[in-house]
Amino acid sequence: MKDIFDTHAHYDDKAFDPDRDELISALLSGRVCGIVNQGTDIASSRFSLELAEKYDGLYAAVGLHPECLDENSMNEIDTVRQLAAHPKAVAVGEIGLDYYYDVPRDLQKNVFSAMLELADDLSMPVNIHDREAHGDTLDIIKKYRPKGILHCFSGSAEMAREVVKLGMYIGMGGVVTFKNARKTLEVIDAVPLESLVLETDCPYLSPVPFRGKRNDSGNIIYTAEKIAEIKSTTAEEVLRITKENAQTVYKLK
């Protein structure tokens, strides 16, 4: 059965240099039906498109990640626009706010807003990163009303309900299997399966029992099992519904 859809991956990461092609081929000839590789800067957005050209089930998001911004970033918006025209570019991502890092907040907000305007212009969904920036992220989402995913969601159940009401999807990954995931489990409880999508953020955030090891899309099964437990259903049902959600949000059906 091909029922694993990884909505957020970084196979361009150097952790995959030794075996990238073998690994992606093996995953896509197994249970994984779709992967969206996220761009974090211009080079990684290009790399994502190159990977997408090689594999049927792999798609690219192109964008500027808050952690990767500098004085030149506002000048790169047009390049992102050009990359987004590629037939296998399905989203603008990974974009957003990260207040854990010292990148100036005004710069982050300006680039994030510009990326959301671009996505709106192109009628494309977005993949949003929000780390320790819940208030500003929600304010900006309410202003621009994008379609898409709030990835590796770390806000409250209340925020999740608001995001879902705005028509967005909540991205869940390996964190749901961690011992300290109480808040994340409350989020899963608070929103319907129809508003969830699954992801790895690989090579990071491997679920238990592989926590701390290199992650890949095959491990999504463990995330699905944990969500199934909370939703009193089967992992297969979680995979089936979240795959449909992923195909809907990325306009792949």
Residues that bind Ni ion (CB under 5 A): 94, 201
Q: Give the nearest distance from C-beta 57 to Ni ion in angstroms.
A: 19
The answer to whether the bond into 209 is cis (omega within 30° of 0) is yes
Q: Give the nearest distance from C-beta 9 to Ni ion in angstroms.
A: 8
Place of tokens 């990238």: 20
Nearest to 6 by CA among 166, 207, 231: 207
H-helix or E-strand containing 165? helix 157-165
Q: Give the nearest distance from C-beta 20 to Ni ion in angstroms.
A: 17
Q: Measured from the CB atom, is 94 or 216 closer to Ni ion? A: 94
The residues facing 93 across adjacent strands are 127
Q: Give the nearest distance from C-beta 8 to Ni ion in angstroms.
A: 6
Measured distance CA(41)–CA(237) in Å, rounded? 35
Q: Measured from the CB atom, is 9 or 235 closer to Ni ion? A: 9
Measured distance CA(32)–CA(35) in Å, rounded? 8
Token duo for residue 196: 């969830």
> Which residue lies nearest Ni ion, judged by its C-beta?
201
Q: Measured from the CB atom, is 12 or 201 closer to Ni ion? A: 201
Q: Give the nearest distance from C-beta 10 to Ni ion in angstroms.
A: 6
Q: Measured from the CB atom, is 195 or 215 closer to Ni ion? A: 215
Q: Measured from the CB atom, is 6 or 201 closer to Ni ion? A: 201
Nearest to 4 by CA among 252, 247, 233: 247
* Residues in CB range of 162: below 8 A, 6 or more apart: 138
